[in-house]
Chains A and B, each alone.
Chain A
């Protein structure tokens, strides 16, 4: 190798290594330039970086997780109904990235729901169904066999079970986020959210509509619909996501018929619990007709997810 080719080789290696560091950091705005790395990097424009930082803005759109959705259903006093869950037998029919992502969310919600109601055998089955979806998406070690073994060993300890469920869900969405698959991550979150929403609507006692706490929880989802649309909008251009945005917009159209008036929140520190209480009141207006419309719309969306 002559001198010229050696210089070229090292130049290319250095350039690619530097590029690799930046790629690994998910975008120039957040480029983590370690001080010791500057020696092999190109000259950085300090002022330009500072200007970039001033303008930089990272936005997180946080949807209720499947664990939180299941907990909201239980805390509203709803009964458990296995017939509402997506049958495990459907798992083998999900072969596309879209179907597996949506149903990873769906099955994780069903798993959380089963966990909340201590349906021991069922939750292991749903953990396996979720694992099948995660494996299909190539999510490494999202749900390891040791998680399932630990689940079986602690089958009567609800705290450990919820801990395992939340950890496996975090493993999935962190893997997708950190490996440049935000569209798939968004679809997983959407699947879980829609499943929780669907189960809630099916469990409402229409004879006690005015006093059913679950109705309030369903109306609360109105606050999340824009967050959900913003989350999906980050992956606009992805065909599957574009179709999902249209479906969620149908739900938003119905939600626009529901009104929620909330008084200005006022924080008050509670010494007894050493926590802050955000005091405010809200007034909700939803008719049975609009509720039925919400139920129908979410059922159609959910069915399109589980029967692709």
Chain B
């Protein structure tokens, strides 16, 4: 086989793998996370990433007074439980799903608009010798008027 044939062929294979991995979280988010919003209107924003066991992510968002919100945070089945907490600007914890059996959704409303921080953490499987699991984690917001 000549290099002139190998390189384009390899590039095609690499592209196919890359595209598949890129699209992986979008399909997961639409199929697994979106339904968790129930009768709340999805805001249309997309937040998803491949996270590894033990990895942490943060999300900053302004929430408005007198709106009813639902946040849904879902990880792929191959991941351990997804822990998330919601904090105010001074890092006071307003909610932690760890105290609610790692619930994937939380419904809330605010009396005063403010910016909140969500800390999302993929817990660990307690298998120190094995390669850590990885998979998509999706965060979605829904609201009601």
Seen from chain B, the residues whose Cβ lies within 8 Å of a Cβ on chain A are 1, 6, 10-11, 13-15, 17-23, 25-26, 29-30, 41-62, 64-68, 88, 90, 92, 94-95, 106-115, 130-132, 134-135, 139, 141, 143, 145
Seen from chain A, the residues whose Cβ lies within 8 Å of a Cβ on chain B are 1, 5, 9, 12-13, 16-17, 19-21, 23-26, 29-35, 38, 44, 46, 49-50, 53-54, 56-68, 71-72, 74-75, 108, 159, 162-163, 165-170, 173-175, 177-180, 189, 216-217, 220-221, 223-224, 226-227, 230, 262-265, 267, 273-282
Q: How far is the CA of A203 from the CA of B96 in the complex (A)?
A: 39
Q: How far is the CA of A62 from the CA of B113 in the complex (A)?
A: 15
**Nearest chain B residue, comparing its CB with the CB of A168:** B44
Q: Is there contact, CB below 8 Å, between B108 and A276?
A: yes
Within 8 Å by CB of A279, from B25, B41, B111, lies B111
With a cutoff of 8 Å between Cβ atoms, the chain A residues found around residue B110 in the complex are 265, 277-278, 280
With a cutoff of 8 Å between Cβ atoms, the chain A residues found around residue B67 in the complex are 72, 75
Supposing A26-B50, A67-B41, A278-B111 touch, asked if A178 and B25 sit within 8 A by C-beta, the answer is yes
Q: Is there contact, CB below 8 Å, between A223 and B13?
A: no
Q: Is there contact, CB below 8 Å, between A32 and B92?
A: no
Q: Is there contact, CB below 8 Å, between B109 and A32?
A: no
Supposing A20-B15, A26-B22, A277-B108 touch, asked if A163 and B131 sit within 8 A by C-beta, the answer is no
Q: Is there contact, CB below 8 Å, between A281 and B111?
A: yes
Q: Which 6 A-B pairs rank lowest in CB-CB distance, beginning with the nearest?
A: A24-B21, A20-B14, A169-B44, A166-B44, A24-B18, A275-B107
Interface majority SS on A: helix, strand, loop or mixed?
helix
Q: Is there contact, CB below 8 Å, between B14 and A19?
A: yes
With a cutoff of 8 Å between Cβ atoms, the chain B residues found around residue A50 in the complex are 54, 132
Q: How far is the CA of A277 from the CA of B67 in the complex (A)?
A: 10
**Nearest chain B residue, comparing its CB with the CB of A56:** B55
Q: List 23 A-B pairs, Cβ < 8 Å.
A: A20-B18, A21-B18, A26-B22, A31-B134, A32-B50, A56-B55, A57-B57, A59-B60, A62-B47, A63-B45, A65-B45, A68-B44, A72-B64, A75-B145, A162-B41, A169-B44, A180-B22, A217-B64, A226-B115, A262-B114, A273-B68, A275-B109, A277-B109
Q: How far is the CA of A286 from the CA of B50 in the complex (A)?
A: 42
Q: Is there contact, CB below 8 Å, between B45 and A173?
A: yes
Supposing A9-B6, A56-B52 touch, asked if A25 and B21 sit within 8 A by C-beta, the answer is yes
Question: Closest CB-CB distance, B79 to chain A, in whole Å?
Answer: 10
Q: Is there contact, CB below 8 Å, between B47 and A60?
A: yes
Q: Is there contact, CB below 8 Å, between A227 and B13?
A: no
Q: Is there contact, CB below 8 Å, between B48 and A174?
A: yes
Q: How far is the CA of A20 from the CA of B14 in the complex (A)?
A: 5
Q: How far is the CA of A292 from the CA of B68 in the complex (A)?
A: 30
Q: Is there contact, CB below 8 Å, between B113 and A282?
A: yes
Q: A23-B18, A175-B26, A275-B109 are in contact. List 12 more A-B contacts (CB 8 A).
A: A17-B10, A19-B14, A32-B135, A59-B57, A71-B143, A75-B67, A167-B42, A223-B62, A227-B62, A230-B60, A276-B106, A276-B109
Q: How far is the CA of A63 from the CA of B44 in the complex (A)?
A: 11
Within 8 Å by CB of B1, from A9, A49, A179, A276, lies A9
Q: How far is the CA of A259 from the CA of B87 in the complex (A)?
A: 22
Q: Is there contact, CB below 8 Å, between B44 and A170?
A: yes
Supposing A23-B14, A54-B54, A59-B57 touch, asked if A173 and B1 sit within 8 A by C-beta, the answer is no
Within 8 Å by CB of B108, from A58, A66, A71, A275, lies A275
Question: Closest CB-CB distance, A104 to chain B, in whole Å?
Answer: 12
With a cutoff of 8 Å between Cβ atoms, the chain B residues found around residue A173 in the complex are 44-46
Question: Closest CB-CB distance, A226 to chain B, in whole Å?
Answer: 8
Q: How far is the CA of A12 from the CA of B131 in the complex (A)?
A: 25
Q: Is there contact, CB below 8 Å, between A67 and B113?
A: no
Q: How far is the CA of A130 from the CA of B109 in the complex (A)?
A: 31
With a cutoff of 8 Å between Cβ atoms, the chain A residues found around residue B111 in the complex are 277-281
Q: How far is the CA of A71 from the CA of B143 in the complex (A)?
A: 9
Supposing A30-B134, A59-B57, A277-B111 touch, asked if A265 and B43 sit within 8 A by C-beta, the answer is no
Q: Is there contact, CB below 8 Å, between A178 and B132?
A: no
Q: Is there contact, CB below 8 Å, between A32 and B108?
A: no
Question: Closest CB-CB distance, A298 to chain B, in whole Å?
Answer: 17
Q: How far is the CA of A276 from the CA of B64 in the complex (A)?
A: 14
